[in-house]
Structure 1
Amino acid sequence: MRDSHGGGGSPASEGASGGAGSSRDGEEPLPESGVQVGGDGYGGVRLGGQQPQGMRALRKSARARRRNLILAGAMSSVVLAGSAVLWALPNYAASQIGSVDAGVAGSQSQGAMNILLVGVDKRDNLTRKQQNQLKLGRESGQRTDTMMVVHLSEDHSKVTVVSLPRDTWTTIPGKGEHKINAAYQLGGANLAVDTVEKATGLTINHYVEVNVLGFIEVVDSLGGVSVCTPVAINDPKTALDLAPGTYQLDGVKALAFARTRATARSDLDRIDRQQQFMSALLKQALSGDTLTNPAKLAGFIDSTLKTLTVDRELAGDLVGLADQLRSISTDDVSFATVPIADSDYRSPTGESAVLWDKPAARDLFRRINADEPLVPGATPSGSASPSASAGPSSGPTASPSPTPSPTALNVPPGRITLRVLNGTPISGLGARTRTALVQAGFLIPDKAGDTRRDHTQTIVRYGPGQLDAARTVAASLPGSELRDVDIDGIEVIIGRDQPAVEKVSVTGPPPSSTPSAAPATPTPTTTATARTATQNICKQ
């Protein structure tokens, strides 16, 4: 309870008013006449009568002591509060996450590092209501849903995430050939790490296991996420029914969106949706609406930590690593998928699996290990952009190279992966052309799709670095038009001209070879497509 001073006002308001009869710090009211300079201890001017010099000094000393005591108390509180936060946050994080011996190499707090991210669905602790919501049934246990390699650049300014298709057919050390997601089931975190190291050639420094079912609470803590689909999704298993469009989804629906395989490319489409989902989640987490809302931020951190199990070394420094990444934006995070040679491989055991394009995959992981950017136009970690460092150009701006006249082909069909789209109203034309191109030796992992139905001429569209391969494709489709566009890879749009597919022969040297060059490892003609998290986010 505050003391009353001359009229019931608060001491602060009365001291500030300086009016007649007011008091400050318990002093007696001053007479209404006279001037006192510096008597209030702040160097100000006060109205009032003369006070004895000794009394003024005594009162000034008392006030100074009180101010120093309050200041010291406030500073102590700040220091103690800060110390408590700094102490409590790592300890709180350690209390919320699990740890496991994953047999990883570990790392220094600085420097490039690779993290194996494994998504599992642990159902044992779900309630009956949650199981019904997620259409999971009553079966207990856990399964690997997702495998990704997360690469942090040397200066931790860039993050590259590479999805490893769960159906990848590979060698699991000591277990023979299996799908890559069987490694976790056969030997837990240790075997999963060992398998990924052997398949990618990368050293795995840390291991993070995420219970994907826990992301329901993570999404809900952020108020949902925005996702989009270019095709309809109708999955009775998850009760997900979406027409093409953009949606704001809650946790249950968002998780179903990221996990469904009820579209044409099955797991490969799911990888795209998972990358989109992670990008949307990152955007929402980094938004001002989250960072400036203590309750929302606390809920997000709390729900996220509860989904994690990490290797023991990372468990002790998770907060430190997160602090190093605090300046990362969605422009600094890139997503890619391992290039595929055969998405419908039939294994010796009769399983439907996926085979990597091994030369292209080796090139991808080499670039990642060297901190090279995967997204066209991006600059390497820690490097300035060319426009920032280069002086003014003295010559004319370079223009795109014109399509060359036909010459000897130098990329064989067996090294070319492409997509086929039907650009006409003729039903089944895309599928028939795809079959003929596969028979001619081209790699076409996806079923034929559809696009605008008004194309008269067949078009071979190609992205950066794909001209030589596109020339081979165009040669197999006589009369088709070559078109340099801003896409990833190569796609064929079939027109009303319906060219008959012809088999072609490669007679020229490989694109990068010279007469004196020694035989080298084949240069991949397919490259991993990569997009930043910003590019993955749905445009409203």
Structure 2
Amino acid sequence: MSERKNEPEFRRVRSAPTPPGSRGGTPPARDPLPLPDPTVRRKRWALLFAGSMSVVVLLASGTAWAITGWMSGQLNRFDVFGGLVDRPDAGPKGALDFLVIGSDSREGVSPEDQSGLGVGHIGGERSDTMMLVHLNNDRDEITVVGIPRDSWVDIPGHGENKINAAYAFGGPQLTVQTVETLTRVRIDHYVEVDFTGFVDVVDALDGIEVCLPEPIDDPKAQLDMDAGTHQVDGAEALAFARTRKTAGGDLDRIDRQQQVLSALLDKALGSDTLSDPRRLSAFLDHALGSVTVDEGLDTRTINQLANRLSDIGLDDVSFTQVPLDDTAYWTPRGDVAVTWNRRAADRLFAQIAADKPITDPEQAAGRGETADPGDAPGDLRPGDIRVQIFNGTGTPGQGNRARAEFTGAGFQVPAAAQDWSSADVPTTLVRHAPQRKRAAELVADAVPDARLQEDSTLGAEVQVVVGFTYTGLDAPQGAAAAEPTPEPSAGERSRVRTSTARDNVCGD
């Protein structure tokens, strides 16, 4: 593009230390990695794999200095922050913010592999996925904010465009500058993963499990999936994460990407793949060449983060999206984009910049932190109620079919259906916290023969455990609840909704 003539050349610099125990650059024939106890090792390496599309690729990256140093040397590095001006102030001491990019670069991918992966043959590079990842000061929580690639924003020096064009115009530097200008959050580190790196990570874990509430047929991405739970390999996971052939387009895609990240983390935490030294060494040597980071993310920094984040689990990783104002904005050049709800987005990013937790208003209400306006008499609607579906029958796909019906009736069902702890639930259960009884009653009214079950350990989310008596939904009772809301209102889109990695996995 002509706009790139005055931009600095985007070059990745590959450092090249050898694996531990090898002086000539060739991995030794026997046991190249001195590893500690497998249980400890799995926990600390888990986030490396789970974060191939997230900063977690670097956070639990080693248990011994030699391993971490070798891994660090396999990464490509780029001077991301050199020359940036008018940057936001640094956040509270100890907190860190990463910009994570999934690049759609086809560089180094043969035409045959491009066809096999269903990624097409488009030249150039764009940011196919964009996430802001926040690590709190205490290093016990990670928040991932999905930024829609079709966000219509002002790109410094280039005017209004979709945010993914920033990468095409000026690589990582302009992308960081654009995000910092929009969010006023100072980016501390940069992580970029391309197609092949993502596929390698999934395949290294022998695939992951994903869930679909409705079928997807995308011939271009070579993806044809029925509703239900699927075991997918790296190529299928890439297609699942990239397709836009659903009603919500790019916004649904962000949800699926967050599900994939959660599945990767879940699989890595419980996988024996990480205990095989030879397999681990070969994988790191191959896969990490697809990861680019800023020059400041050196061996010492990675090692410190690894030690501090070794106990992070599924409940400690939260996901959300930028609050939106218009999901079908017609741009001046004649294509469709999305626009942010500036007031809600500014509030979200101000909390991140101040290292404050991002909380769903209903989740906060469930813990008694604030009054819950949704529980006001006569003012409760399906769109005010967040539901988690569990399959208690063992029938494949039953949970996701129920999820689709609840979503169609206007309830909030952000996470994929999960399997219940048993597969012999006779009657559908509607489980709720004491302070969410009215919400649970509205849900139960819509499910014939459902039984209420109070649980003081629950928060604002109402749980539906589908039993053998489940036959579908009736229209919610009461005038205030009768109208389904298939298309979110501007107010709904502007709310900050969160889910944990545990919420997003298909089941245990």
- In structure 1, what is the equivalent of residue 405 of structure 2? 451
Q: Shift of residue 213 of structure 1?
A: 3.1
* Pair 403,109 (structure 1): closer, same or farther in 2 beyond 3 Å: closer
| Partner Cα distance (1:172, 1:147) in 2 | 15
* Pair 132,281 (structure 1): closer, same or farther in 2 beyond 3 Å: same
Task: Please give the residue correspondences for 1:34-433 in structure 2 after superposition, counting only pairs within 5 Å.
Answer: 88-103=66-81, 111-316=94-299, 317-375=301-359, 404=376
SS in 1 for 2:138: coil
SS in 1 for 2:296: helix
TM-score, L = length of structure 1 = 0.59
Per-residue CA shift, 1:143-190, capped at 9, x if unaligned?
210110000100211110101000001111111111111111111111
TM-score, L = length of structure 2 = 0.62
SS in 2 for 1:124: coil
* Pair 128,365 (structure 1): closer, same or farther in 2 beyond 3 Å: same
Per-residue CA shift, 1:370-400, capped at 9, x if unaligned?
33333559999xxxxx99xxxxxxxxxx998
Range 115-124 or range 295-304, more displaced? 295-304
Contact residue 210 and residue 309 of structure 1 kept, 8 A? yes
2:242 counterpart letter in structure 1: R
2:240 counterpart letter in structure 1: F
* Pair 131,400 (structure 1): closer, same or farther in 2 beyond 3 Å: closer
| Partner Cα distance (1:367, 1:487) in 2 | 27
1:535 counterpart letter in structure 2: D
| Partner Cα distance (2:226, 2:501) in 1 | 23
Contact residue 339 and residue 360 of structure 1 kept, 8 A? yes
| Partner Cα distance (1:402, 1:262) in 2 | 33
Task: Please give the residue correspondences for 1:434-473 in structure 2 after superposition, counting only pairs within 5 Å.
Answer: 451=405
Contact residue 156 and residue 325 of structure 1 kept, 8 A? yes
2:80 counterpart letter in structure 1: A
Range 289-298 or range 178-187, more displaced? 289-298
Unaligned runs of 5+ in 2: 1-32, 36-62, 386-402, 414-431, 440-458, 464-473, 484-490
* Pair 300,159 (structure 1): closer, same or farther in 2 beyond 3 Å: farther
| Partner Cα distance (1:221, 1:163) in 2 | 25
| Partner Cα distance (2:302, 2:354) in 1 | 24
Contact residue 363 and residue 461 of structure 2 kept, 8 A? no
Q: Shift of residue 271 of structure 1?
A: 0.3
Q: Shift of residue 366 of structure 1?
A: 2.0
| Partner Cα distance (1:220, 1:189) in 2 | 27
| Partner Cα distance (1:357, 1:300) in 2 | 42
Per-residue CA shift, 1:69-108, capped at 9, x if unaligned?
xxxxxxxxxxx979xx956434422331111111178989
| Partner Cα distance (1:295, 1:268) in 2 | 39
1:237 counterpart letter in structure 2: K
Contact residue 218 and residue 303 of structure 1 kept, 8 A? no
2:119 counterpart letter in structure 1: L
| The structure with more radius of gyration | 1
SS in 1 for 2:179: helix
Contact residue 130 and residue 148 of structure 2 kept, 8 A? yes
2:70 counterpart letter in structure 1: Y
Per-residue CA shift, 1:241-272, capped at 9, x if unaligned?
01111111011111111111111111000000
1:145 counterpart letter in structure 2: D
Q: Shift of residue 364 of structure 1?
A: 1.3
SS in 2 for 1:451: helix
- In structure 2, what is the equivalent of residue 72 of structure 1? none
| Partner Cα distance (1:402, 1:170) in 2 | 33
1:240 counterpart letter in structure 2: L
| Partner Cα distance (1:495, 1:378) in 2 | 20
| Partner Cα distance (2:374, 2:499) in 1 | 27
* Pair 132,200 (structure 1): closer, same or farther in 2 beyond 3 Å: same
1:277 counterpart letter in structure 2: V
Find the partner of 1:533 among 458, 476, 501.
501
Contact residue 345 and residue 352 of structure 1 kept, 8 A? yes
Contact residue 97 and residue 315 of structure 1 kept, 8 A? no
Contact residue 91 and residue 355 of structure 2 kept, 8 A? no
| Partner Cα distance (1:453, 1:370) in 2 | 34
Q: Shift of residue 287 of structure 1?
A: 1.8
Kindly report the root-mean-square deviation, in angstroms, between the aligned alpha carbons of the 2 structures.
4.7
Identity of aligned residues (%): 41
> What is the number of equivalent residue pairs in this alignment?
369
Unaligned runs of 5+ in 1: 1-79, 381-385, 388-397, 408-416, 420-448, 471-483, 503-522
| Partner Cα distance (2:110, 2:407) in 1 | 49
* Pair 418,190 (structure 1): closer, same or farther in 2 beyond 3 Å: farther
Q: Shift of residue 359 of structure 1?
A: 1.3
* Pair 292,350 (structure 1): closer, same or farther in 2 beyond 3 Å: same
1:123 counterpart letter in structure 2: R
* Pair 176,219 (structure 1): closer, same or farther in 2 beyond 3 Å: same
1:334 counterpart letter in structure 2: S
| Partner Cα distance (1:262, 1:134) in 2 | 16
Contact residue 191 and residue 294 of structure 2 kept, 8 A? yes
SS in 1 for 2:503: helix
| Partner Cα distance (2:121, 2:79) in 1 | 29
- In structure 1, what is the equivalent of residue 452 of structure 2? none
